[in-house]
Amino acid sequence: MPKSTKTIETGEAPAGHIQSLEKGLRILDEIISAPAPVKLAEIIKRFDMDKASAFRFLQTLEYRGFLRKNAETKEYEVGGRLYYWASQLRQKTRIIDAYHGQLERLANLTQQTAHLGLLVNDRVLLADFAHSNSIVSIQHSIGGVEPIHASAAAKAIVAFLPKDRRERMVEANEFIKFTDRTITTRAELMMDLEMCRERGYAVDAGESYGGLHCVARPVFDAQGEPVASVGISTVTALVGSDSDHFRRITSALELIAGEISRDLAD
């Protein structure tokens, strides 16, 4: 039987978003993801734009260094500015490269989708994931910012931060209600984070997406501070009534998070 995947969409764009900026970023993403340099005509067709508008977007991205145009072929590819950003982020993202294998092991141990959260400048990003061989698999979108009040990947990190930083992030958080189970107040979140610290892991039981269940544990650096989290995502029906299955998941998380933390401490 082929494996079915569930893709999580973020829904409607938030109020106040800038449509022109969104389109420019989508064009940039298209060129980054393309297997070969892209022509103006391809952008026109892909985004259903007129030639003048498409050219202005590409020209602006080229001017800022995000794209490079081949003078002979008139094709566009990734520019030097993005490679500079990548080099600046390399230190922060080395965990992604170094520990993808452990993430795959976690997926195999739990037979659920495993994911990696990464703390970057007071935000938790979904940085990597690995599928299992299970029939049901959750499809994540890499690079998304995880809401600290509704995401196990984020709560597992924030709960173990030094008190002043933890409180600063909670105060700055926007308590958007995603489902009926979403935490919507500072007091509720602080209580939930305290429970995370006591048990050693965080839970998102349908708080960000109805019917989905996530569990995550923090990963600590050599100074004992949380820099990432590893977790699993599954459908609630698979863990909600099976306590033994849930314990196997938390045990696997403890094993993998511990291995990565010890390696970072060396």
Mean pLDDT for 99-103 is 91
* 3 has pLDDT over 80: no
Asked if residue 52 lies in contact with residue 59, where contact means CB atoms within 8 angstroms, the answer is: no
- The structure tokens listed for 49 are 């734009």
3-state DSSP call for residue 19? Answer: helix
Residue that is written with structure tokens 């893709």 in the block: 7
Mean pLDDT for 190-212 is 93
Say if pTM beats, i.e. exceeds, 0.75. no
Q: What pLDDT sits at residue 200?
A: 96
User: How much of the chain, in percent, has pLDDT values that exceed 90?
Assistant: 63
126-135 long-range contacts, CB within 8 A, separation 24+? 126/153, 127/93, 127/95, 127/96, 127/228, 128/96, 128/100, 128/103, 129/103, 130/100, 130/103, 130/104, 130/106, 131/3, 131/5, 131/107, 132/107, 132/108, 133/3, 133/108, 134/3, 135/1, 135/3, 135/4
| CA-based end-to-end distance of the chain | 43
pLDDT tens figures, 37-66: 999 999 999 999 999 999 999 999 999 999
Between CA 116 and CA 35 the distance in angstroms is: 26
Mean pLDDT for 107-111 is 91
Between CA 128 and CA 146 the distance in angstroms is: 13
Confidence of residue 202 (pLDDT cuts 50, 70, 90): very high
Q: What pLDDT sits at residue 195?
A: 96
pLDDT tens figures, 60-99: 999 999 999 999 999 999 999 888 777 666 656 678 888 8
- The structure tokens listed for 206 are 């349908």
Cβ-count burial 232-246 (b if 16+ within 10 Å, e if not): bbbbeebbeeeeeeb
* 229 has pLDDT over 60: yes
